Structure 1
Amino acid sequence: MSFALMMLAGMALDLGLGWPDRLHARIGHPVTWLGKAISALECHLNRGSRNVRLCAGALTTGAIVLLAVLPALALQTALPDSIAGSLIGAVLAWPLIALRSMHDHVAAVAHALAGGDLHGARRAVSMIVGRDPARLDTAGVARAATESLAENSSDGIIAPVFWGVVAGLPGIAAYKAVNTLDSMIGHRTDRYEAFGKVAARLDDVVNWVPARLTGVLFALASGRHVGRGLKAMIRDAAKHRSPNAGWPESAMAAALDIRLSGPRVYGDRVSDEPWLNDGAADPAPRDLFRALSLYRRAMFLCALALGALALL
């Protein structure tokens, strides 16, 4: 069985179909299934002293990963070791690759901004970022959407595909479990700092390679600006609060010749983040369309790499 072919076909399915609304309404989505299990465990176990919460969070993380991996392993074991098995595996992997939904979410922001609808753009960007959209001006909305596109290209596409190539269905299932855990409990708040610590650190580990690969893909997809993107990653990635997100974000910022990151507001807290590609202009609405074009080219390069691996 070719895991590379499995992931390539899974990307093609997601590109063509997304995750249909009717299917979501009928059965939900594997990530929402995991989310319900995480919420139930967190509600019952996230209590007591810091050390107790830390241990409970570690147990929760392990239990959720196993809950995702064991069925995936059983399914993969049952698949024939053939092209047909790879294609069946692609259908199973398809819901865990967010290729189309990422593009559609950012495109909604881009079209609203291009039409001068700041309120609609704020509403659209609130679907993909955690900061307060009501405080964002046009440049702030464009910057938030561009950053989300860059970071989630790694988290939502390259990372699951990478782990799928490495370990097949168990690999992609384990990654999505860890990433979902991090998004739900990996926050630096009084409630989650201890309980979600293991999940957050594990998410950093599993995204280390994919984040850097995503940055390289953005740099390569920028064509004649490839050197500028690579230099920006080396120079700016470590400035980011995340050990991983700075790589794709700095590469995208350099490729588009805009600045990203910088100060932002989460609730009533101001996070004074340094700029990536400092000295460049803030993104304008048209830059979101340029970012989407760069995204499409980078994903095409990813598909070409998967095709080459499948042939080998």
Structure 2
Amino acid sequence: MFAGTMVLALAVDAVMGWPDRVFDRIGHPVTWLGGLIDALERRFNREADSFAARRLRGVGVCLFVTFVAGFAAQVLVWALPGGLWGAVLTGVLAWPLVAARSLYDHVARVAGPLSRGDLQGARDAVAMIVGRDPNLLDEAGVARAALESLAENTSDGVVAPLFWGVLLGLPGIAAYKAINTMDSMIGHMSPRYRAFGWAAARLDDLVNLVPARLTGLLFVAASGSEWKQALKVMIADAGHHRSPNAGWPEAALAGGLGVRLSGPRVYDGALSSEPYVNVGAPDPRPFDLARGLVAYLWAMGIMALVMMVLAL
């Protein structure tokens, strides 16, 4: 296993994130993947083709992008020295593929104005991390959207990449990020992507099955004295979520904080009627978002400790 290198990747990300000056100069590995995915989608997702043909091409693109990301990472591994320096360099190369710092920063940018009563500022900040119309959200709606994003992206953006990195090293974390990026770009149910993005969405569901449940357990462990309630809500309500995976961390976080999450929301002007998670609890208040960030930090600390034990 590669637990030690993934601990290093998490540590570097926690300290540095991905600096703006670096992004401005070279972009980010996810944007590089996004450019490849976009080019392939425009080339092969032709509306004139049949549903079956578009799905088949989508399968091919999904496999190709995953292979390219994993193989490119493996080539880098072959070029690295062995021993301690090789492990250190592998951790540094994995660092951009961990989004722990950026996730915290994005949610904190919502929590700040929300705690000061600046609803519009909080709406503007939450629009950067969720797809729903922020102008329709009241104070509780903003807090709920930010907490849901925190829970889901803890799994997709931090725990899952590190999980596959621990198991398969740099190629594992790179391949996972390729799959997750494809899902975010083309894994939708809109007419354009229903066929072409089918494989990306299904593969993303598959590779997140274990990490999502591990993330739920991390939030349970981070709930302190409320861990029993967090576990109870997670077990009872995770399956109510529209996603086979996102419900696990969301339900655990909702139970630990004693708030309700999910529920109806508006996307592109259309109401999506979805059940609440932890339905009997009240809506989150501004300070619950700060509590959620504390739970997130505890969860990250617990995960780092587990990886360190595995490394030893």
TM-superposed CA distance for 1:280, in Å, is 0.5
TM-superposed CA distance for 1:83, in Å, is 2.3
2:6 alignment partner AA: M
Identify the residue that residue 43 of structure 2 maps to in structure 1: 44
TM alignment of 1:12-51, pairs within 5 A: 12-47=11-46, 48-51=49-52
TM alignment of 1:186-265, pairs within 5 A: 186-265=187-266
State the distance in 2 between where 1:98 and 1:186 align.
Answer: 20
2:173 alignment partner AA: I
State the distance in 2 between where 1:255 and 1:266 align.
Answer: 27
Name whichever of 154-163 and 113-122 sits farther off: 113-122
2:86 alignment partner AA: G
Identify the residue that residue 57 of structure 2 maps to in structure 1: 56
State the distance in 2 between where 1:187 and 1:283 align.
Answer: 28
> After superposition, what is the alpha-carbon deviation per residue over 1:286-306, rounded to whole angstroms, capped at 9, x for unaligned?
000000000000000000001
Identify the residue that residue 95 of structure 1 maps to in structure 2: 96
Aligned: 1:4 with 2:7: no
> After superposition, what is the alpha-carbon deviation per residue over 1:94-117, rounded to whole angstroms, capped at 9, x for unaligned?
000001000000000000101111
TM-superposed CA distance for 1:79, in Å, is 2.7
2:286 alignment partner AA: P
What value does the CA root-mean-square deviation take over the aligned residues?
A: 0.8
Indicate the SS of the match to 1:305. Answer: helix
State the distance in 2 between where 1:80 and 1:229 align.
Answer: 45
State the distance in 1 between where 2:131 and 2:209 align.
Answer: 22
Indicate the SS of the match to 1:116. Answer: coil
Identify the residue that residue 292 of structure 2 maps to in structure 1: 291
Unpaired runs of at least 5, structure 2? none
> After superposition, what is the alpha-carbon deviation per residue over 1:194-226, rounded to whole angstroms, capped at 9, x for unaligned?
000000000000000000000000001111211
Aligned residues: 310
Aligned: 1:154 with 2:139: no
TM alignment of 1:137-152, pairs within 5 A: 137-152=138-153
Unpaired runs of at least 5, structure 1? none
Identify the residue that residue 129 of structure 1 maps to in structure 2: 130
Name whichever of 213-222 and 80-89 sits farther off: 80-89
Identity of aligned residues (%): 59
State the distance in 1 between where 2:226 and 2:80 align.
Answer: 43
TM-score normalised by length of structure 2: 0.98
2:276 alignment partner AA: W
State the distance in 1 between where 2:84 and 2:223 align.
Answer: 34
Identify the residue that residue 70 of structure 2 maps to in structure 1: 69
1:50 alignment partner AA: F
- Runs ≥4 residues deviating over 3 A: none
State the distance in 1 between where 2:81 and 2:288 align.
Answer: 46
1:90 alignment partner AA: G
TM-superposed CA distance for 1:63, in Å, is 1.3
1:8 alignment partner AA: V
State the distance in 2 between where 1:84 and 1:278 align.
Answer: 51
Indicate the SS of the match to 1:270. Answer: strand
State the distance in 1 between where 2:102 and 2:165 align.
Answer: 19
1:96 alignment partner AA: L
Indicate the SS of the match to 2:81. Answer: coil
Indicate the SS of the match to 2:132. Answer: coil
> After superposition, what is the alpha-carbon deviation per residue over 1:269-290, rounded to whole angstroms, capped at 9, x for unaligned?
1110101001111000100000
State the distance in 2 between where 1:257 and 1:86 align.
Answer: 41
Identify the residue that residue 309 of structure 1 maps to in structure 2: 310
TM-superposed CA distance for 1:78, in Å, is 2.8
> After superposition, what is the alpha-carbon deviation per residue over 1:51-101, rounded to whole angstroms, capped at 9, x for unaligned?
111011111111111121111011122333422211100110000000100
State the distance in 2 between where 1:50 and 1:81 align.
Answer: 48
1:19 alignment partner AA: W
> After superposition, what is the alpha-carbon deviation per residue over 1:239-260, rounded to whole angstroms, capped at 9, x for unaligned?
0000000000000000000000
State the distance in 2 between where 1:136 and 1:82 align.
Answer: 52
Indicate the SS of the match to 2:271. Answer: strand
State the distance in 2 between where 1:158 and 1:127 align.
Answer: 21
Indicate the SS of the match to 1:159. Answer: helix
Name whichever of 62-71 and 277-286 sits farther off: 62-71
Name whichever of 193-202 and 223-232 sits farther off: 223-232
Aligned: 1:118 with 2:119: yes
Identify the residue that residue 169 of structure 2 maps to in structure 1: 168
